[in-house]
Amino acid sequence: MKIIKRNGTEVSFDIGKIVNAIKKANNEVSEDNRLTEEQIAEISAKVKSLANDLNRAVSVEEIQDFVENQIMDHKAFAVARKYITYRYSRALVRKSNTTDERILTLIECNNEEVKQENSNKNPTVNSVQRDYMAGEVSKDLTRRLLLPRDIVEAHEQGLIHFHDADYYAQHMHNCDLVNLEDMLQNGTVISGTLIEKPHSFSTACNIATQIIAQVASNQYGGQSISLTHLAPFVDISRQKIRAEVAEELADVGVMEDTIARIAEKRLRDEIKKGIQTIQYQVVTLLTTNGQAPFVTVFMYLGEARNEREREDLAMIIEETLNQRIMGVKNETGVWVTPAFPKLIYVLEEDNIREGSKYFYLTELAAKCTAKRMVPDYISEKKMLEYKVDRNGEGHCYTCMGCRSFLTPYVDENGKPKYYGRFNQGVVTINLVDVALSSGGDKEKFWKIFDERLDLCYRALLCRHNRLKGTLSDAAPILWQYGALARLKKGETIDKLLYGGYSTISLGYAGLYECTRYMTGKSHTDAEAKPFALSVMQHMNDKCKEWKAKHNIDFSLYGTPLESTTYKFAKALQTRFGIIPGVTDKSYITNSYHVHVTEKIDAFTKLKFESEFQQLSPGGAISYVEVPNMQDNIPAVIAVMQYIYDNIMYAELNTKSDYCQVCGYDGEIVTVEEDGKYLWECPHCHNRDQSKMNIARRTCGYIGTQYWNQGRTQEIRERVLHL
């Protein structure tokens, strides 16, 4: 069994330290109030047993809570007072400097919590460490100076989660849809250098990657670009290449169709190089936060403005899918699955059925999903139904990163607008804690629910107010040079925070466990489902109430919960103990999802979750877990066609691994040892994570740098849906 110390380092459990701590407190009281040696041994053994029952690494604070409770159970109140007093005095000493130890262990790579915090950050790299160091300082300032005490305490207890506190001290926002069209067509400025409209497709791709890197360094969430914005530059290159070929062959006297054929072949080569630039630049770029840009690439034929542009966009999509199927080479030269860019493919009437014009792209997308886990799929049909603006028109557009969706918006000219908009930030409510705090009493549940939602509301206003007054000069690429706006120097971004131009998100987690505790059944049960839907509707109603009050676009968001799933689970176990089916895992369920252990087929799962996805307008994604499907592409297409007809946004999860020691390319598994989950090659039993390539869909995006113990257990326990 492992213990996580306060500085984040991980050590083996030592019962002797518990015995010694109790003895120190015991020796400070009179003999008639002391515990016997047998009682001390009994308490220590019980603490060890309780820690073992959690089936995960246990924090020092949790061990100390167990010790306190056991001393009290033995009626040794004088000893308990001494133990509590000593613990309190040590806590005061630690509070005098809250960051030094964590930063030092972070630099020496001893901080297990930080190592497992982000599945796409390598904590041994200097740039990542620098970002984490700055994050520790920001979190400390946020905790001590910037947030109200009750919000800090609620966050620390796991009642709510105030996301991205490591960036809160700065005036930074969450995620956005980059207006790549504006920046390419009208020019932009990068690092003080004017970048004019490109004169070829390959140059447009190169500029796009520079924009992606700059945007990623000036906000902390995901960003999305559309391939449609690159499509006009295909014809610019076509005309340029055609003129060059005609000039080269002028003396030969070849026919016009020959010139066109040669030009088209060279154009294909340029498209290939341009897409390679995007893929390899995104994978190899390191932003200021020490990771590859968290970027999503949107592929939607319906965005094209004319037939020529649509055909050119189809060529770009085809090349993008082909290159992703190939993958990228790891350090040993083997083709593996990259985490980014994330790809989203829109299912529409022209590509969804066999015989439709672009069905060949859908077949290619299916092959890509089976091998590389992307693209994810948006149903144009369902999105046009769900995302309806005030004029009654439906719209199809991409999310900002892994799942955060903008709400429909019409500008002052009556035109729909999505690119150039953003999300201000997220605060998540722990629905499981609301349920457990109510003790199962429905009336008490709704009262506590409203109290916690009020905490979230005030925390979200803190996020909003932190952005108010931000000058456009803070991030010129975003606010002055077209990524999000074209504001003047010295102008504030305030007008972009109101009226629906940007959103701000109320996140939620653990609907399954909440429903299970309150009804005794999974929310997939017909008797329990109405309660789960009422919880979702209540959060939507609150968002509407807050929006009407402030003219800020509050929106309900199905939180991804990468590391927070583990944090919430630990907090629940500390507050309520182990409750079978509710707190007996080291994770809680993402948003509205069906529990990962529940046996349900892919189509039933997607249909069920579609109702909840519709009630999560600020963002949500559903998935089905599938085996290796590379030899069963028709089955993948069948799922895609079901997505088109039934749910707005979904993905297929498979596995994509490689062992660098023995060359095994099947599924690398987890094994449990000393209370900890480790990754192991089943062929050669290699456990060296630096000599493996593992890709798993974490919570809407692919992770490749390993996960915390809660998320690892969740991945381990997933059942197949197909």
Phi and psi torsions of 152, nearest 5°: -60, -45
Query: How does DSSP assign 704-722, residue by residue?
Result: -S---HHHHHHHHHPPP--
**Does 423 qualify as catalytic in the annotation?**
yes
Displacement of CA 493 from its chain's centroid (Å): 26
Considering only CA atoms, which of 378, 297, 375 is closest in space to residue 650?
378
Q: Which of 118, 120, 423, 693 is catalytic?
A: 423
**Does 557 qualify as catalytic in the annotation?**
yes
Number of other residues whose CB lies within 10 A of the CB of residue 698: 25
Provide the sign of the torsion angle of the four alpha carbons 546, 552, 558, 562, taken in this order: negative
Distance (Å, whole) CA 627 – CA 602? 12
Distance (Å, whole) CA 71 – CA 672? 32
| Residue 564 in tokens | 């927070």
| Residue 145 in tokens | 């100076």
Considering only CA atoms, which of 515, 509, 544 is closest in space to residue 530?
515
| Residue 182 DSSP SS3 | helix
Q: Which of 83, 119, 172, 175 is catalytic?
A: 175
Q: Which of 400, 536, 543, 692 is catalytic?
A: 400
Number of other residues whose CB lies within 10 A of the CB of residue 98: 15
Provide the sign of the torsion angle of the four alpha carbons 701, 707, 710, 715, taken in this order: positive
Q: Which of 404, 505, 555, 586 is catalytic?
A: 404
Q: Which of 345, 557, 701, 706 is catalytic?
A: 557
**162 within 8 A of 458, measured Cβ to Cβ:** no
Q: Which of 562, 609, 625, 680 is catalytic?
A: 562
**717 within 8 A of 598, measured Cβ to Cβ:** no
**486 within 8 A of 545, measured Cβ to Cβ:** no
**Does 700 qualify as catalytic in the annotation?**
yes
Query: What residue type is 231 in one-letter code?
Result: A
Residue 376, strand partner residues: 344
Cβ within 8 Å of residue 440, ≥6 positions away: 517, 518
| Residue 2 in tokens | 């492992």
Pairing of strands 223-226, 656-659: unpaired
| Residue 157 in tokens | 């207890």
Q: Which of 7, 26, 138, 174 is catalytic?
A: 174
Q: Which of 482, 700, 703, 710 is catalytic?
A: 700
Cα three-residue angle 97-100-101, rounded to 5 degrees: 110
**Does 402 qualify as catalytic in the annotation?**
yes
| Residue 374 in tokens | 């992307």
**Does 315 qualify as catalytic in the annotation?**
no
Q: Which of 299, 383, 402, 518 is catalytic?
A: 402
Cβ within 8 Å of residue 437, ≥6 positions away: 448
Helix 232-248 with 307-326: angle, nearest 10 deg = 90
Query: What residue type is 228 in one-letter code?
Result: T
What is the helix (H) or strand (E) element at residue 215, kind and residue range? helix 201-216
Displacement of CA 362 from its chain's centroid (Å): 26
Considering only CA atoms, which of 308, 306, 396, 289 is closest in space to residue 349?
396
Catalytic residues: 174-175, 400, 402, 404, 423, 557, 562, 700
